[in-house]
Amino acid sequence: MGKYLILWKVDPNKMPISREERAAALGPMVDLVEQGMKEGRIKDWGTFVGEMSGYSIAEGNEVEVSLSNQQWVPFIDFEVHPVTSISDTKKVIGELSK
């Protein structure tokens, strides 16, 4: 199972201008994040203060992460980076010395 750093950003062109309508649109999205955390797909999630963007840490394979991200399209844009653990990084460094 892979681990992914996902940087996300709300597309302001897809969000309502009114604060009330924006809250109505964003509230269910936060509920979906909480559901993903309860299911274990999302390990961590947060927003960058003062921005309509943030990050999440997800686990799964490429297809699972891609499918999960698709539920947010077209409202959210993503940048996804697979990451390795410290133990995997140490293995890579160990292979360098061979």
Question: What residue spans define the domains of the chain?
Answer: 2-96
pLDDT of 97 over the 90 cut: no
Q: Is the peptide bond before 74 cis (omega within 30 degrees of 0)?
A: yes
Contact between 6 and 66 under an 8 Å Cβ cutoff? The reply is no
Q: Using one digit for the tens of pLDDT, what is the confidence trace for 17-71?
A: 899 998 898 899 999 999 999 999 999 999 999 999 999 999 999 999 999 999 9
Residue 83 has a pLDDT of 96
3-state secondary structure at position 80: strand
**Which one is the CATH code of 2-96: 3.30.450.40, 3.40.50.300, 3.90.950.10, 3.30.70.1060?**
3.30.70.1060
Q: Which two tokens stand for residue 30?
A: 């936060």
Q: Which two tokens stand for residue 97?
A: 């010395």
pLDDT of 16 over the 90 cut: no
The whole-model pTM stands at: 0.86
- Kindly state the average pLDDT of the residues 73-96: 94
